[in-house]
Homo-oligomer: A and B are copies of this chain.
Amino acid sequence: MNENIDSQTMVKILKALANPIRLKMIALLHKEPKNVYALAKEMELPYPLAHLHLNGLKKLGLVKEVKTEQKAKGLPTIKYYAPSEFTFILTPENIRKLYVKNKGERNG
C-alpha cells in the first residue's frame, strides 16, 4: 500500500474519505482544481461547511493547494485545490500489515 503508514493514520485517512461531502470534493477537485467558494456553490453547501470539510482533507494531505490567484489588491487570494496523488489499496492482507510494526527498515 503506502510506505510505512500505521493503523492510526490509516483510520484517519479512511475517516476523512468516509463522508459523502468529502468524497465528492475529491471527485470534483480531480476533474478540475477549484477554490472552496466555487466548490461550495457547486455542491450547494454553505461556505463554512465546505471550508470545514476541505480543511479536513487538506490537513491529512489528501488535497493540496495547486494555484493561487489575486484579482485585485485588497481582495483575498483565491486558492485552488486538487487531490494529491494518493493510492490506498484496501485488502485484508494490506490491513493486516498495518499492525505489523515496521522497525525502521533501511538500507545501510
Whether A27 sits at the interface, judged by CB under 8 Å, is: yes
B residues near A30, Cβ cutoff 8 Å: 92-93, 95-96
**Minimum CB–CB distance for A84 against chain B, Å:** 8
Chain A interface mostly helix, strand, loop or mixed? Answer: helix
| Extra 7 A-B pairs, beta carbons < 8 Å, given A7-B24, A15-B18 | A14-B14, A27-B92, A27-B95, A30-B92, A30-B95, A86-B91, A90-B90
- What is the size category of the interface that chain A forms with chain B? 20 to 34
In the complex, A100 Cα to B85 Cα: how many Å? 20
Whether A31 sits at the interface, judged by CB under 8 Å, is: yes
Whether A19 sits at the interface, judged by CB under 8 Å, is: yes
